[in-house]
Amino acid sequence: FQGIFVLGLPYALLHSGYSGLFLIVLAAALCCYTGKILIACLYEENEDGQLIRVRDTYEDIANACCKKLSPKLGGIFVNVTQVMELIMTCILYVVVSGNLLSHSFPYVPVTEKTWSVIAFVTLLPCVFIKTLKIVSKLSQLCSLVHFIIIIVVMIYCLTQIHRWSWAKFRLSVEFEDFLVSVGVIIFSYTSQIFLPTLEGNMKNPGEFRCMLNWTHFSACVLKTTFALTAFLTWGEETKEVITDNLPSFLQTLVNLCLLIKALLSYPLPFFAATEIVCACISRGNHSNHRSPLFALGVRGSFLLLTLLMAMFIPHFALLMGLTGSVTGAAMTFLLPSLFHLKLKWKKLSFLEKCADITVFILGFLCSIAGIVCSIKGLLEVFG
C-alpha cells in the first residue's frame, strides 16, 4: 500500500481539492470491502454448514463463475488483466526511474528517455530470477529505503509549516482532472490480485478480515497525512512526483533513494507477470514450453516490452491514472463484486446485494470515465 506511487497522491489532491481527501478514505473502505468478498468466494459451505476453502486463486474463482459458458474463459480473462496490471506497474517503475535521474542530474546533457534506458540496463539481471526468495530479499531492502524517503519528506514539510494554508485547496475542480485523480488514488490501493495467496498462507486465516481492516485503516491514515502535508506545503506548485518539489540539497539525495527503491520494486511485479504467462503456456503438452530457455525468452520479451512502453509514454501521473482506471478498477471493484454476486447470490441478504451492485456500478463508471480522460490527457501531451 505504501509503494512508490504514494508520491503521486499530492498531485491528485491538486486536481481534486477537498474531494480528494474524501476519495482517499472512500477508496480504502471500498477496497477493504471488495478484498473481503473476494476471499469469501474462495469458500463454500459443506453439509455441516462449515466453510471449506475449495478454491485457491483469483483464476479459480473466475473459472467457477464462467464454467457454464467455458471452463477456462474466466481464468483467461483474469490472467490477462493481472498481467496487464503487473506489466503496467513495471513500466511505471522504468518511467519514474528516468524522471528521477533527470531531476537528480539536471546539468548532464542527457534526455529523460536516455536516463530511462540507463536505468533499464540495471534491470537486465531480472531475466535470471527464478525464485521468489531473491525477490523477497530485494523487497526487504525496498521497504527500508521507502521508510527513509517518507520520513525525510515529512520532516521537511513540517519545517515549512508556516507556509501552510487551507486556501490552497480548490472548492471546485475540473471534472476531467478529477477523474484522472480517481484513477491515481484507486491504483495506490490495488492489492486484490495478491489476496488469495496471502490468505492461503496465513498461519490463522480466520484473522484475515481483521488484518484487512487494520492495514487499510493504517494505509488510509498514512496516505492522507502524507498527501495533505505535502500539498499544504507546495499548493499549486505541486508536481507529478512530489520529490521534484524538494530543494536541490535534498532533492538529489531523495531522488537517488527513490531510484534505488524503484529498481528494487521492479522484480516483484515482473516476476509475478512472467510466472503467470509461463504457467499458462506450460499447461500444454509441448515440452519446449517448459524449458529454461523458453522461460528466459518470456522474461526477456517482457523486459524489453516495459522499456519500449516507457519510452513512448513517459508521463508518470497520467500513465498511473490510466492503469488505475483500466486494470485497477476491474480487479479491485468490478470482478470481486460480480463474482460475489454470481457465487453467493442465494445466500446474500438484500443489503449485501445492494452493496455489491453499488460497488460494481461505481467501479464501472470510474473505469470508463477514467479511461477516456486519461487517454485524452495523454493525447494532449503528445499533441
Query: What DSSP assignment string belongs to 48-62?
Result: TS-EEE---SHHHHH
pLDDT digits (tens, 9 = 90+) for 151-202: 888 899 999 988 887 777 776 677 767 776 777 787 778 788 878 878 887 8
What pairs with residue 43 in β-bridges? 53
* pLDDT class of 322 with cuts at 50, 70, 90: low
CATH at residue 221:
1.20.1740.10
**Phi-psi label, residue 17: left if phi above 0, alpha if psi -120 to 50, beta otherwise:** left
Which residue has cell 481527501?
21
CA-nearest of 297, 254, 246, 298 to 275 is: 298
Q: Is the model's pTM score more than 0.85? A: no
Average pLDDT over residues 265-285: 80
Helix axes 292-312, 112-121, angle to 10 degrees: 160
Decide: 231 and 10 in contact? Cβ < 8 Å: yes
357-376 residue pLDDT tens: 999 998 888 778 767 776 77
145 backbone dihedrals φ, ψ, rounded to 5°:
-65, -40
| Rounded Cα gap, residues 250 and 360, in angstroms | 43
* Count of domains observed in the chain: 1
End-to-end CA gap in the chain: 34
Q: Are 115 and 102 in contact, with CB atoms under 8 Å apart?
A: yes
CB 37 within 8 Å of CB 343: no
If one compares 201 and 58, the residue with the highest pLDDT of the two is 58
Q: What is the pLDDT of residues 84-112, one digit of tens each?
A: 878 878 888 888 888 788 877 888 888 88
User: Which residues span the domain enclosing 235?
Assistant: 4-382
Instruction: Please report the pLDDT score of residue 91 as a whole number.
Output: 85
